[in-house]
Amino acid sequence: MNDEKDFLGKEPIGKLLRSLAIPTITAQLINMLYNIVDRIYIGHIPESGALALTGVGVCMPLIMIVSAFAALVGSGGAPRASIHMGKQDYDQAEKILGNCFMLQVVISAILTAVLFLFNRKFLLAFGASENTIEYAVSYMNIYSLGTIFVELTLGMNMFITAQGFAKTGMLSVLIGAVCNIVLDPVFIFGMHMGVRGAALATVLSQACSTIWVLAFLTGKKTRLKIRLRNMGLTPSVILPCVALGAATFVMQSSESIISICFNSSLLKYGGDIAVGAMTILTSAMQFAMLPLQGLGQGAQPIISYNYGARNAERVKGAFQLLLKVSLIYSTLIWLFVQVIPQAFAGMFTSDAELLAFTSRALRIYMACVFMFGIQIACQMAFTSIGFAKESIIVAVTRKFILLLPLIYILPHVLTGNQTFAVYTAEPVADFLAVTFTALLFRRQFKKALSSLAL
């Protein structure tokens, strides 16, 4: 049994990363289908597709916040559980799992009430116009009722992957995605529910995933089990998890704030078409980022477990392999976007004007995405070894210190085309952020490895 539990510390790193990363990358791509499939179907609703797509796009900040709270708990708790597994302290690892489960239930109840009662006010503040607000509210009213399913599926699934059950984690997402793909056309077109049908399909699909996740974490195959005795909210257990997860929370929740800023600025300079294009650009960025995050999640159990076991060589080897593969992927995505942007934009709209506008904007918006292999690899490694402070610094620097001000500054600097100046804020911030992250990581990671030899 000990050999089975210690496979993260003994198996060859390349083989381990491949076996863990392929399912987690697949899971991230599948997870992306929840929103992308909705948008593809919504964008092709007869007559009202373009406005409906823009309306649902305005909902993205709220959807990102829901996902961010799941990450706050899951991405902080899962690495800490892995570290304790590396120390062979399985009792503490299960306490972390139980506490995180209860915290997500509490958070879900609060979010559901807030989103259902106040979503119209939020959506108007986030860039919805009189033409798109009803589409946005219709979608959000239903989506908010399924908040608990989103929280538990995304958050608890991280504990499945953290134990090395990457394929099971992938199946959790696959079940929901298949349900979503099947139910979307039935509700949207077959039952003529429009955007409400898309939201209902998503909620029911997430519910199916939640049942699968909880069945596994209370079953016989899991190494860490959800137990009633661990379902407290013990400060000494939960607070370190929240502190470590804060970086991912900032990263994901700031996406919603940044999306608000982008939408309001784009509505000012470019109108509904610019906001509609931003919905597609956000999907493209997700397509680039989620597989990178999946790769990082695949490496996380290896890095965390061996950091807990004080095996510096395996920690270093896992990070170096993660960095190499991440850079290759981000470079390939950058080439794809720069050469054939219209291929991606065409997935979401058949409107000729929106298609032409988005193809041009996409090249600008993702001009520095080839560098993101460095950014994601370093951020995931910081989280994997429990460096909460550094993780937060990196996340805050990119979003709040760099990107947010640039959204408002660049339209006044690049006055020739103020709409496209707004999109330019993204690559400028990316270049500066990746440079800063690489320098900070090089120094702190060296210190972390040295501490393991003491």
Whether residue 337 contacts residue 286, with contact meaning beta carbons closer than 8 Å, is answered with no
pLDDT above 90: residue 408: yes
Identify whether 229 is part of a domain: yes
Quote the DSSP letter at residue 188. I
Identify whether 3 is part of a domain: no
d(CA 376, CA 390): 13
pLDDT above 60: residue 224: yes
Of the given ranges (6-20, 153-167, 367-381, 432-446), which has the lowest mean pLDDT?
Answer: 6-20
C-alpha pair distances (Å), 138 with each of 57, 193, 194, 318, 453: 13, 10, 9, 45, 57
DSSP states of 12-25 as a string?
-HHHHHHHHHHHHH
Q: pLDDT class for 454, splitting at 50, 70, 90? A: low
pLDDT in tens, 431-445: 999 999 999 999 999
Identify whether 2 is part of a domain: no
- The count of structural domains within the chain is 1
Identify whether 6 is part of a domain: no
**Beta carbons within 10 angstroms of residue 359's beta carbon:** 19
Read off the pLDDT of each residue in 352-371 and give the average, rounded to a whole number.
89
d(CA 300, CA 243): 17
Query: In the prediction, which pLDDT does 403 show?
Result: 92
Amino acid at 378: C
Identify whether 7 is part of a domain: no
Identify whether 8 is part of a domain: no
DSSP states of 128-178 as a string?
--TTTHHHHHHHHHHHGGGHHHHHHHHHHHHHHHHTT-HHHHHHHHHHHHH
pLDDT above 60: residue 3: no
Q: Which residues contact 55 (CB under 8 A, 6 or more apart)?
A: 128, 132, 133, 134, 135, 136, 139, 195
Identify whether 5 is part of a domain: no
pLDDT in tens, 138-196: 888 899 999 999 899 989 999 998 888 888 988 888 898 889 888 988 998 888 888 88
How many CA atoms are closer than 13 Å to the CA of 137, on its beta-carbon side?
15
**Beta carbons within 10 angstroms of residue 200's beta carbon:** 22
Whether residue 14 contacts residue 157, with contact meaning beta carbons closer than 8 Å, is answered with no
pLDDT above 90: residue 405: yes
pLDDT in tens, 36-75: 677 777 777 776 677 777 777 778 778 888 888 998 999 8
| In the chain, % of residues over pLDDT 70 | 95
DSSP states of 285-313 as a string?
HHHHHHHHHHHHHHHHHHHHHHHHTT-HH
Q: Which residues contact 447 (CB under 8 A, 6 or more apart)?
A: none
Identify whether 409 is part of a domain: yes
Query: In the prediction, which pLDDT does 301 show?
Result: 87
C-alpha pair distances (Å), 406 with each of 262, 286, 398, 402, 433: 10, 21, 11, 6, 13
pLDDT in tens, 290-338: 788 888 888 988 998 899 888 889 999 999 999 999 999 999 999 998 9
DSSP states of 51-109 as a string?
HHHHHHHHTHHHHHHHHHHHHHHHHHHHHHHHHHHHTT-HHHHHHHHHHHHHHHHHHHH
Query: CA end-to-end span of the chain, whole Å?
Result: 29
Query: In the prediction, which pLDDT does 33 show?
Result: 67
pLDDT above 60: residue 417: yes
Residue with tokens 């649902």: 56
pLDDT above 70: residue 112: yes
Query: In the prediction, which pLDDT does 91 show?
Result: 92
pLDDT in tens, 239-294: 999 988 888 888 777 776 787 788 889 888 988 888 888 878 887 787 778 788 88
Query: Which structural domain, as residue segments, surrounds residue 253?
Result: 14-452
Tokens found for residue 358: 């988005």
d(CA 54, CA 68): 22
pTM of the model: 0.73
